[in-house]
Chain A
């Protein structure tokens, strides 16, 4: 599991970003740069577009930081949500440039939504295919930023069992997602 899942994030960087703290933007890039870059690589592969897309995603994040609600998701999940939306929109724009017939604005907007739904649906179906305990552990870690120890306390599972569910759940998700593409 990545470091973003290994420990809960004690400090809320996005609130500081929203308040205009320049040190927070630097810290945010350091903490989430790998996550956003990794997602970009999955969308764009080895392509110069990936670097531009990452820069766009962080600009979007600075603008959206004030909307972050810790009751809705953990900070890393919010960052991933913003990045994925940006990448889906960018991929759609790139594909449209390749088309001979430009889409009408309202059709383009619907297509972007449809892309987001399709992407999100794929992930949602992958989660549905996991065993309930694996899904619970992954969502507690990813959505609530809980460490393995915290999940063990919250669920009453032994820590070793939590780690096993996390490891097997991740392996299953990777396999499901690779088959679904």
Chain B
């Protein structure tokens, strides 16, 4: 099997994943992955 054929099958598998997967990411995981944003400083 050639690399091109393997790649074509991987693309098909990925396409099927896109077509069939629709879960929601857990909020805690999302929060852990997002880069922290600096809060604007507020004067008292």
Chain B contacts to A: CB under 8 angstroms: 1, 6, 8-26, 29-30, 32-35
Contacts and interface: CB of A to CB of B under 8 A. Distances in A.
A105 B35 CA distance: 35
Given A5-B18, A55-B33, A81-B14, A37 B23 contact: yes
A173 B16 contact: yes
Nearest to A51: B29
Contacts of A3: 22
Chain B binding site: helix, strand, loop or mixed by DSSP?
helix
A61 B10 CA distance: 16
Contacts of A42: 17, 21
Interface stretch (A11-19, A94-102, A139-147): A139-147
A81 B10 contact: yes
Given A116-B6, A124-B9, A80 B35 contact: no
A26 interface: yes
A117 interface: yes
A35 B21 contact: yes
Nearest to A137: B19
Given A29-B34, A81-B14, A142 B19 contact: yes
B22 A2 contact: yes
